Amino acid sequence: MNPASASSDVAVPWSHRHLVGIEPLSAGDIRTLLAKAVEYEGVSTSRAVPKRQDLHGKVVVNLFYEDSTRTRASFRLAASRLSADVLDMSASGSSVSKGETLVDTARNIEAMGVDTIVCRHSQSGAALQLASHVSCSVVNAGDGQHEHPTQALLDALTLAKRLGRTDGFDFSGLTVAIVGDIAHSRVARSNILCLTKLGAKVVLVGPPTLLPKTMAGPGVEIAHDLDAVLPKVDAVNMLRVQFERLSGPAFPSQREYTALYGLTTRRLAQAKPRILVMHPGPMNRGLEIESAVADGPNSAILEQVANGLAVRMAALALVTNT
Ligand code: NCD
């Protein structure tokens, strides 16, 4: 998609039975989903607004092969707020630990009359594989280093709300820095696709060992000097170093990493006063982000979590009812 033409796309009728990534979505699809999330906002976080019936009688299964706190709880609550029946399953404690394959597990679950499977897996491509083997809907809750579409969508919703872009979700003129371990991050990959499709520019910042040159492209620049980038951007999305996906040390020491790429109060002083600070969690406080920044006035980190609920309600409703 050419980012220059992206912003002319308006919301379109939803036609996807699965949400395996941002890649297959058009700018219009993304806008449709974000608009639906806005519609669900009240019911997602306020107990005063009664549950919606949009998924009444439907069954949603959370199938998580990797650890998760936010994403799993968020999908569960989202499905409940839409009145679906929800089943939570994880690899440990199921037959997966006895050697059953992902597809076999999913087919067996599907045989119990499931409408949507929400899947997190350490293998890139797992969600797509699942979608091609089951007849129910599949939502990708993170597949290896590949994509994490609902995280990118909740980041986009947070940006839009804070920067006044909810009317049409047109991000042209905005620049977002994504900082840290880009190489191993499915959050970065989905964010790059989502932001550029909505018309924003993206600057990727990190040590060369964690930032492949091949990630540059239309609307996407690569940089290694965070201090030079910060004054130019409207938002900064700080990523965790994915130590569990590293095969060896990617930088000399954690101290050096923080000195070059950690977001500190001192460093933030060079940024635009209203810069938005985001982080998908879990945070390594003191490594990629200083506590005072994470909890400070520019931080939108807890808003991201709250917006995640509305986005996941939208994703579940749209794919399940298509
Ligand atoms: C991210 C993930 O699991 O990809 N977290 C999340 O979903 N909120 C990022 C991370 O683990 O660093």
How far is 258 from 264, CA to CA, in rounded Å? Answer: 9
Q: What is the position in ligand 1's atom list of the atom closest to the CA of 242?
A: 12
Whole-structure pTM value: 0.95
Helix (H, G, I), strand (E, B), or coil: what is residue 6?
helix
Ligand 1 atom with minimal separation from the 66 CA: 3
Check pocket membership of 145 for ligand 1, CB cut-off 6 A: no
The conformation of residue 87, written as its DSSP 8-state character, comes to E
User: Which pLDDT belongs to residue 95?
Assistant: 74
* CB contact at 8 A, 126 and 6: no
The pLDDT value given to residue 10: 67
Helix (H) / strand (E) containing 196: helix 186-197
Residue 281 beta carbon below 6 angstroms from any ligand 1 atom:
yes
- Name all domains of the chain by residue range, CATH numbers in brackets: 27-147+308-320 (3.40.50.1370), 149-304 (3.40.50.1370)
CB of 7 closer than 6 angstroms to any ligand 1 atom: no
User: Is the Cβ–Cβ distance between 223 and 204 less than 8 Å?
Assistant: yes
Q: Nearest CA to 106 among 92, 125, 91, 123?
A: 91
Q: Which residue is listed with tokens 């919606």?
A: 52
CA distance 258 to 107: 45
Q: What is the pLDDT of residue 9?
A: 59
Name the maximum alpha-carbon separation found in the chain. 56
Q: Residue 52 carries which DSSP code?
A: P
Q: How far is the centre of ligand 1, averaged over its atoms, from the C-alpha of 187 (Å)? A: 7
Please give the chain's pLDDT, 322 residues, in tens. Answer: 444 444 455 678 999 999 999 999 999 999 999 999 999 998 867 777 789 999 999 999 999 999 898 999 999 999 999 999 999 988 777 777 677 889 999 999 999 999 999 999 999 999 999 999 999 999 999 999 999 999 999 999 999 999 999 999 999 999 999 999 999 999 999 999 999 999 999 999 999 999 999 999 999 999 999 999 999 999 999 999 999 888 888 898 999 999 999 999 999 999 999 999 999 999 999 999 999 999 999 999 999 999 999 999 999 999 999 9
Tell how strand 116-121 and strand 137-143 pair up: parallel
